[in-house]
Amino acid sequence: MILTIDAGNTRTKWAVFDVANAVVASGTLFDAAPGSPPAEWALCSLAVVSNVAGDNVALKIKALLDTTGKAGESLKQIWVTSQPSGFGIRNAYETPHLLGSDRWAAMVGARQYCQQHCLVVNAGTALTIDVLQHEAATATHHFIGGAIVPGLQLMCQSLVQGTRNIAQAIGHSGRDIDFPRCTEDAIYSGALLAMAGAVEQMAGRLSRVTAAPVRCIIAGGDAALLADKLQGGTGIGDIVIIEDLVMRGLLVIGRDTESGSWMR
């Protein structure tokens, strides 16, 4: 079995996959105090980790993994970093290894579900919108760039914290409605509109280059909310929600390692 760990800005999530690539266990670790490793980790032969949460979180995860293997031995580990190319993707980032490992893993995962031009969107603490242009002749995806926008909660919080009058007006959590008539609803609805608009802009740019509708693969905790806003959006073809897309990409990397073709 393979253990995948996605240490993000807000949470550290994990999942255990069996030989049929089905999730047999999953959970969340608290970054501040992860505690003891879950019992299911001891069933695994390999751990594949994406960490964008910093060195302190990395040390805590490693401490857990170092006592997780059989007979108290360290579990074999891969700490993912973005590559110039691999897994059918060419990475055009100016400095490839500076691309977030979670974004790289999400694109690796997305390629398993998409053999066409697509946006890989992660709607979490931050909203990332990464563009994969498909080259049919070589069956290769070219990562040509992407955008980062504050996520839903971060966008709402920044307005509340940065504007005194709005902070004083907040009385309840906002709702998404077409024509907001109170401050809370205006903030919440506006944040969703801004997120959807950013995705639509990127989809429109790609569709003008490719002259074809763009598939949108969305992951993250706010994936369903964003997908609902994007229905019928400019330049967007079909929309697919895969909430654990980063985990799926980490699994692909882990399977490649098991087969001996890591980083081919």
Name the residue ranges covered by the structural domains of the chain: 2-81, 114-241
CA dist 79 → 38, 99, 101, 219 (Å): 19, 14, 9, 21
> Poorest-confidence range of 23-37, 138-152, 183-197?
23-37
Q: Judge contact between 232 and 255, C-beta under 8 A.
A: no
Helix (H) or strand (E) holding 252: helix 245-258
Does residue 89 have a pLDDT over 50?
Answer: yes
Closest CA to 178 of 187, 191, 189, 188: 189
Report the percentage of the chain scoring pLDDT > 90. Answer: 53
Confidence (pLDDT) at 13: 93
Does residue 123 have a pLDDT over 80?
Answer: yes
Q: Judge contact between 185 and 89, C-beta under 8 A.
A: no
Higher pLDDT: 248 or 155? It is 248
2-81 in CATH: which number? 3.30.420.40
- Which tokens hold the place of 257? 């390692």
* Residues forming the active site: 102
Query: Which amino acid, 83?
Result: Q
Q: Judge contact between 236 and 216, C-beta under 8 A.
A: yes
Q: What is the C-alpha to C-alpha distance for residues 74 and 57, in angstroms, rounded to an integer?
A: 18
At 146-173, the pLDDT tens digits run 999 999 988 888 887 766 666 555 545 7
Does residue 34 have a pLDDT over 80?
Answer: no
CA dist 218 → 48, 62, 185 (Å): 22, 29, 24
At 90-108, the pLDDT tens digits run 999 999 999 999 999 999 9
Mean pLDDT, the chain, rounded, equals: 87
At 196-222, the pLDDT tens digits run 999 999 999 998 888 887 899 999 999
How many C-beta neighbours within 10 Å does residue 253 have? 25
Closest CA to 220 of 117, 109, 141: 109
- Which tokens hold the place of 27? 């959970």
Q: In what order do the strands lie in the sheet with 2-7?
A: 23-29, 12-17, 2-7, 46-51, 77-79
Q: What is the C-alpha to C-alpha distance for residues 10 and 59, in angstroms, rounded to an integer?
A: 17
Indicate yes or no: pTM above 0.75.
Answer: yes
Q: What is the C-alpha to C-alpha distance for residues 160 and 181, in angstroms, rounded to an integer?
A: 17
| Residue 156 CB contacts under 8 Å (≥ 6 apart), including other chains | 174, 187, 188, 191
Overall CATH class of domain 114-241 = alpha beta
Output the CA angle 253-254-256, nearest 5 degrees. Answer: 65
| Topology match between the domains 2-81 and 114-241 | yes
Confidence (pLDDT) at 262: 42
Query: Which amino acid, 202?
Result: M
